Structure 1
Amino acid sequence: MTFVIASPCVDIKDKACVEECPVDCIYEGERMLYIHPDECTDCGGCEPVCPVEAIYFEDDVPEEWQDYTIANADFCTDLGTPGGSAKIGNTGRDHPTVAALPPRAPTV
């Protein structure tokens, strides 16, 4: 099991979770962040610091966002296992599910 970042992160990317992650397993896409399921230790430190409540334990992802479990895994499969997001930085890409979404309207 692992944690998953879902829809509320799209076009927000607060990165408080990145700072909290002790194993550096949260990778940055162009529009959202992704948790690498092979590197996540399930510590849960990322979940409470997310200001938009986008992070869920894999079994608790709301039904309407189940595609994000696959999106996180697929995105990270393409990366391989680099052993930490600090080595990679912004990947400049997103999973096709995320890339196809219309831009989120900025909040005022």
Structure 2
Amino acid sequence: MTYVVTESCIRCKYTDCVDVCPVDCFREGPNFLVIDPDECIDCTLCVAECPVEAIYAEDDVPDGQRHFIALNAELARQWKPIVERREPLADADEWAAVKDKLGELKR
């Protein structure tokens, strides 16, 4: 099983999760992070670190966000690894509680 980054991360991109990942499985896009399912070792460390609760075990991804499983796998093949914590996007706090942000995702 792998972990999956879901919609809450879009336009926030807090990277606290990256800092605790022992295998560097996170990939970075312009305004979103994903987890490479081939690299994730199911350690669960990232889940508690995410301030917007965007990370779920694959089996626990909410029904309305299950498409993020395939999206993480797809984008992980295209985006470069991120291996250290960075500042979140400038307006991350404004976007943290916004729902239905998939249309905001930049590839």
TM-score bracket for this pair, using the shorter chain length = 0.7 to 0.9
Q: Structure 2, unaligned stretches of length 5 or more?
A: 84-101
Segments ≥4 residues shifted beyond 2 Å: none
1:63-92: CA deviations, max 9, x gaps? Answer: 11111011001112345xx8x534xxxxxx
Alignment partner of 1:85 is 2:82? yes
Give 1:28 deviation, angstroms: 0.7
Aligned length: 88
Q: Residues 30-69 of structure 1: matches in 2 within 5 Å? A: 30-69=30-69
Q: Distance in 1 between matches of 2:29 and 2:82?
A: 11
Higher relative contact order (CA 8 A, sep 6+): 2
Q: 2:77 is paired with a residue of what secondary structure?
A: helix
Question: Which one-letter code corresponds to 1:56 in the other structure?
Answer: Y
State the superposition RMSD in angstroms.
Answer: 2.0
TM (norm. structure 1) is 0.74
> What percent identity do the matched residue pairs reach?
43
TM (norm. structure 2) is 0.75
Q: Structure 1, unaligned stretches of length 5 or more?
A: 87-99, 104-108
